[in-house]
């Protein structure tokens, strides 16, 4: 649950209501009036606003895309919380109440291939739909884009990147590498320029620092000022074997392949056996992609060596033999 929501916030009570239904403590007819408070306040208002401007994406449409991502339950919940919080803040603003001076800069920690960039892109679209950011585009950079080779070069490079990102999201991958060289490194200069930018462009820029969990924790410990400037922390867990099989199915569907039953079972078994043991660079969804690439090549070899005519079904189906022996 998001820590930044005031206690008793609407999303928290929605979750409570849903849990009470599941536990058999609340009948649907009693639950609905409680849920109604959450939805009529947040969704209906933005709905009305969006109606006039059809080219503007609705927050709901963005959240739908988020919901269609495999797994990531906790992240989805947090994003919904953030959305509720922003909606309420703008309603408060319209009602002439004081606006909370919340900044939304974020830390994404998780292994590569766990969905960080995808969620960052969705975050940009969501903030645009909520009218927090004017453009909502994503600029993805790493250390080399920010850090220069001589004095003054770094500040110049960083400022250029900031200019490109203004109005949208600046996503800094492997952000901890900025602190790698210690005090004398030019990375330090980049961090300082960024931190200043988070203050100066607070209404016009969302900065997301991303990287491996351990390294990000270390990075934050090197620079305590970052903690308060990046108040939102999203953790991207490694996908479960089930999630990964689902990802595999989606990737294959996009390319007009399907998994034979034995291949689906075998893949699930393989991924389950290895759950938690992948070398961290093997990287999750990316690793599944590699497995599939390999299987697609093996299937082609298998089919060309066959004597009988090939059906459409043959051409589409990956069998378990196409996978076997395919993981290093």
Partner 1 sequence: MEVVIVGAPNVGKSLFVINFTQYLGSREIQMEESSGASGLPRDRRLSFEKARRDLVSLYSPKTTQIQTMTAHVLINRQPQRLYLLDTPGINDGIAPDAAARWQIARTLERALTATTILHMIDASLVATRRRESLGAFDMAMLGWGRQLDCYGVIAHKMDRPGSHEGLRILRTQFPDVPIIPVSSITRRGYRELKLFLVRALT
Q: Which residues bind partner 1 (CB under 8 A)?
A: 14, 18-19, 21-33, 35-36, 38-40, 43-44, 47-48, 51, 54, 58, 60-61, 63-64, 67, 80, 242, 245-246, 249, 253, 264, 268
Residue whose CB is less far from partner 1, 105 or 128: 128
Q: Which is nearer to partner 1, 36 or 227 (CB)?
A: 36
**Residue 61: CB minimum distance to partner 1, A:** 7
Smallest gap from residue 128 Cβ to partner 1 (A): 18
Is the Cβ of residue 25 or residue 159 nearer to partner 1 in the bound state? 25
176-198 core/surface letters (b: 16 or more CB in 10 A; e: else): bbbbeeeeebbbbbbbebbbebb
* Shortest CB 265 distance to partner 1, Å: 9
Least distance to partner 1, CB of residue 268, Å: 8
Q: At closest approach, how far in Å is the CB of 24 from partner 1? A: 5
Among residues 84 and 220, whose Cβ is nearest to partner 1? 84
Q: In the complex, what is the shortest distance from the CB of residue 153 to partner 1, in angstroms, rounded to a whole number?
A: 46
**Is the CB of 39 or the CB of 92 nearer to partner 1?**
39
Of residues 21 and 132, the one with the C-beta less far from partner 1:
21
């Amino acid at each position: 649950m998001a820590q930044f929501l005031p206690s008793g916030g609407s999303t928290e009570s929605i979750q409570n209501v849903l849990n009470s239904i599941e536990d058999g403590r609340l009948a649907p007819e009693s639950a609905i009036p409680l849920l109604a408070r959450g939805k009529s306040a947040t969704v209906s208002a933005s709905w009305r606003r969006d109606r006039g401007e059809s080219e503007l994406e609705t927050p709901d449409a963005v959240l739908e895309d988020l919901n269609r991502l495999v797994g990531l339950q906790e992240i989805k919940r947090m994003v919904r919380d953030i959305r509720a919080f922003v909606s309420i803040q703008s309603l408060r603003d319209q009602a002439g109440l004081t606006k909370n001076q919340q900044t939304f800069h974020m830390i994404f920690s998780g292994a590569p291939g766990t969905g960080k960039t995808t969620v960052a892109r969705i975050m940009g679209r969501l903030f645009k739909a909520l009218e927090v950011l004017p453009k909502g585009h994503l600029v993805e950079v790493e250390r080399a884009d920010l850090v220069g080779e001589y004095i003054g070069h770094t500040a110049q490079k960083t400022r250029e990147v900031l200019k490109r990102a203004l109005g949208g999201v600046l996503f800094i991958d492997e952000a901890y590498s900025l602190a790698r060289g210690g005090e004398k490194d030019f990375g330090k200069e980049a961090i300082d320029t960024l931190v200043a930018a988070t203050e100066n462009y607070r209404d016009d820029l969302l900065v997301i620092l991303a990287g491996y969990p351990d390294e990000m924790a270390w990075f934050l410990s090197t620079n305590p000022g970052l903690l308060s400037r990046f108040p939102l922390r999203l953790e991207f867990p490694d996908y479960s074997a089930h999630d990964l099989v689902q990802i595999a199915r989606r990737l294959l569907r996009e390319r007009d392949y399907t998994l034979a039953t034995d291949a689906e079972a075998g893949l699930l078994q393989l991924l389950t056996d290895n759950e938690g043991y992948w070398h961290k660079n093997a990287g999750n969804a990316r690793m599944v992609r590699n497995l599939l690439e390999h299987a697609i090549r093996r299937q082609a070899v298998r089919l060309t060596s066959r004597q009988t005519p090939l059906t459409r079904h043959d051409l589409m189906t990956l069998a378990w033999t196409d996978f076997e022996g395919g993981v290093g």
